[in-house]
Structure 1
Amino acid sequence: MNCVNSVTEVKLPFLNSLLLAFTGWLVLTLIFCRPLTKGTRRFYYFGIPFLILGVLMFVPLGMGVPIILCWIIYLPYQILQFFSTRQERIFKNLLPLSVNTLALLLSLTLIFVTTAWANTTPELIKSLGGISPFYPATVHQQITRLSQRGPEVVTPLSDTLAANFERYEQVSAYPTARMAYCLREIGGPQAEATLQDIIEHRMKFKDSSSAKWEAAICCLYAECAGERAVPVLTDLLNQAERSQNHFQKQVALIALARTRDQAAIETVLNHVPFLQEDLQADLTSRWSAAMISLTLQALAEGQASQDLIQSPVYHRLMLGLRPELKSESGIVWNQKWDGDLDPESLKTHWSAILNRKD
């Protein structure tokens, strides 16, 4: 039984367990504790319809929270009632006391155990794949919690990615891109090596179902490795030109722009006509066109090297990756940007910016 959605489950990992405990309490009180008290009967009036709706998957978000909260308050109240009972009725109330005490202890134990379990690295990694992309704040909350653990989570992330690629012919885009984003946030040689391995050995650029995570990982690798990513991405570009794979060439150029390397920027500027042609093509998807537009806008309007990686190319991918980024130059990002570029003057412009950075 799952009466909560993935976002509520991430924020309140104990809720499903408490709902099961609540169900057990309803059954036990019905069997052993009759006649039912007025409070217990009220929980039946609200609890049973709620549980039925939960099984039918009609209960949205955290509708179970108020019921569970009231129940947790009600249990100690019932236990305290026992001590105010007249002496001759104590024995009669021992069974309800036992049921309520057991339910309360079990509930408190479940809260602590499930919360601790949900905060372990394997469970945090597992949760990345279950959150809807329509809740990017929750996605980034989990990514931040993982990234803050530093290099110690790089190996579990890398192993999970490798296991997914071995286990599934078509990996899910959500966990793949989000784990790669964690690696990008943490950085370091092992994180770079993992992303590079995915690009070199796991990407085919032939299946539309993989296109979004392939584009995301290429960009994340470029941001993570910087100029060290240029040879890999240049090789990707050369392969695309040999095989005439438009999408692969497009992704390689977008990723090269995010390396903030002068030679890579010049390569991208040399291919501006190709990108502009793809931008106008009828067969270019909206998310792909948005990535091209934002990349060209960053090249045309950027005044700092950070502008190249702060263009929100991940937003339109609908993978739940929507980092809160603000351009240092005050650029107002436009996913439909289609301005004119002068590649030669932009080469001089970016050469000055990148040399100043050095």
Structure 2
Amino acid sequence: MQRERGVVYMKKMEKFNGTVNYSNRAFDFGFRADHIPDIPVYATREGEEVFMTVLPFNGVPVEEIEESFDAVDYALVEELGRSKYLSSLQIYQFVGLRGFKVQRHGVRNRLNKMMKLRVIREYELKTPEAERGLKVYDLDYKGFLIARHRGVLFHKGNRYLSNTKKQELDAFDTAEDIKRILVGNMIALSGLMNGVACERFGIMETMRPVQEPPITDGCIIRTAANIQLDEESILLYEVVRSTPHAMRKLADKVNRYYILINDRRYRENNYYGHEAVPQLVICGENYEHCVKIDQYLRSRGLISETDSLLYTEDLFYVRQTLQNLYELDEAGNRTWYSLPERQMVTDMGRSA
């Protein structure tokens, strides 16, 4: 949004955030919705570290790479640009939702090609004793240039940093940082694949009043994902992992959330033009984790009687369900809520 002479303008809907462009559900989603793992894939693991795949220099210019790209190649780069980090399965799902006919092995082949061209980077998240870990991807410099040319908007949450710049700023993402973003993308993907009636989704974006940076009054909040159901319903998903410092960071964010939603400036003129204040949803690794989070927030006086918090869990987003939000009372009892369903949707795809 922009303000000029007292007039409020709504921020333009970006094509890589509007759900109208992600409405194709007639493809195999790449996993079995009836086979739920016991442990969340993106739960934290003790001693887990991030290892980047090192490849030799490649001097092929961006212009030559773009000439060789087809629509699927461009879509892959665009999705990584908006989403910051994605697994190969998530890339496949986002591209499929856009209506492109691709196979999972085809996506992997394209990823390998782009790694060699230095369009994307590959990381492996693993513990010291593990032979294999979780592989995820983000953009390398050439990919960043291509994505920007294609209209992907970059901000602090999804910005590109070279390895040299990361060293200079000490800004290397940890396994926890990466997994929080992966869960945010998983939540957005689940909503799209399950047919949630929504208008927009975002990854690592901020909610704030329209004001000049830097913002020093705490009236700003960045979450792993957000989903706008309609003009009056916006869900902010804060993903929390089981690490020693996670609760303290969450407490600070919850406090800033209360500042934001009770600030008159936000209601009058906010960056995305929302007509209502957003609802914070805390995503824990499982039910027991969510109860611990709720108890911690209560002990810090951060459970409000007027501004409620909702909870959700990782494994809800590998299921075919719209009932995936709940409120907790002091005893840990859950009051369930369901997301609205889009009209004229097909059944969720399953792999054999």
With the length of structure 1 as denominator, give the TM-score of the two structures.
0.29
- Scaled by the length of structure 2, the TM-score of the pair is 0.30
More helix by share: 1
**Larger relative contact order, structure 1 or 2 (CA cutoff 8 Å, min sep 6):** 2
